[in-house]
Amino acid sequence: MKTLIANFKMNMTPTQTKDYLITFLSRVDSEKLDLTLCLPYTSLFIGDFWCADKNIRLGAQNLSDEEEGRNTGEISGAMLKDSGVDYVIVGHSERRKRFKEDGKSINRKIKIGLKNGLGLILCVGESLAERNTLKTYEVLKEQIESALKGLYENELERIIIAYEPVWAVGSGKTPSPKEIEEAVKEIKKVVCDDFSLGASESIRIVYGGSVDSKNIKQLNSCKNINGFLIGQACLDPNEFLKICSLVR
């Protein structure tokens, strides 16, 4: 069963989310997909209400790297769990760049997420300059090793790695299936070296970056990915429904 993760980013008020979900949920065949909707914090209560009993997981887009206390404006792992959240995105390239999130902070977020019973979607990926100077493997290795430092192998069951080349996110450009497969091999090599062969075989890896209904069939030909993380294209329920029907 393919995994599809929708990242709504900073889009949709709670009212707009409700309207979206009414359209989307009336037509999606959620039994045939492993579907997670990562909504803005302010829409989580709407998602929790409308997605209950629908075989759809509720996701958030970030969590604090502190457990609680004097962190005005932050949202904790415990708050997310109590809001019905199952998965949370960490290490998204927009946050690495805009908010200077580094490996240490991402590692703390992952540990706090795990402690609170959440699953984590860890985004990793190289910039165009890094790809052009043949640094992709080095970048992926550093991002994965710093994020997963100190984790037990059995905790990887609750981690999904999203390979999201920075140059593909929101750009309309995508790597070829061959390039994705190469990056996935490199990700698995890091997991194999740091954990075990078994862990590298079972870790779930999705691709993200400008996925839409036109390129999904070609991207879906990659054999070693478990699914996709989708940003812009999930904002139109009809486009997202098309992707859901093509990906199975």
The distance of closest approach from Cβ of residue 71 to ligand PEP in the complex, given in angstroms and rounded to an integer, is 24
Residue 72: strand, helix, or coil: coil
The distance of closest approach from Cβ of residue 137 to ligand PEP in the complex, given in angstroms and rounded to an integer, is 21
Residue 231 found at the interface with ligand PEP (CB under 6 A): yes
Residue 209 found at the interface with ligand PEP (CB under 6 A): yes
Q: Which is nearer to ligand PEP, 183 or 200 (CB)?
A: 183
Interatomic CA distance for residues 156 and 199, integer angstroms: 7
Query: Are 123 and 93 within 8 A, CB to CB?
Result: yes
Residues composing the chain: 248
The distance of closest approach from Cβ of residue 164 to ligand PEP in the complex, given in angstroms and rounded to an integer, is 5
164 belongs to the catalytic site: yes
Give the largest CA-CA distance in the chain.
48
Query: Are 163 and 175 within 8 A, CB to CB?
Result: no
Query: Are 50 and 22 within 8 A, CB to CB?
Result: yes
Residue 11 found at the interface with ligand PEP (CB under 6 A): no
Residue 210 found at the interface with ligand PEP (CB under 6 A): yes
Q: Which two tokens stand for residue 86?
A: 């199952």
Residue 247 found at the interface with ligand PEP (CB under 6 A): no
Query: Are 201 and 208 within 8 A, CB to CB?
Result: no
The distance of closest approach from Cβ of residue 17 to ligand PEP in the complex, given in angstroms and rounded to an integer, is 17
Binding mask 157-176 for ligand PEP (x = CB under 6 A): -------x----xx------
Residue type, 175: P
Q: Which residues are catalytic?
A: 92, 164
Residues that bind ligand PEP (CB under 6 A): 7, 9, 164, 169-170, 208-211, 229-233
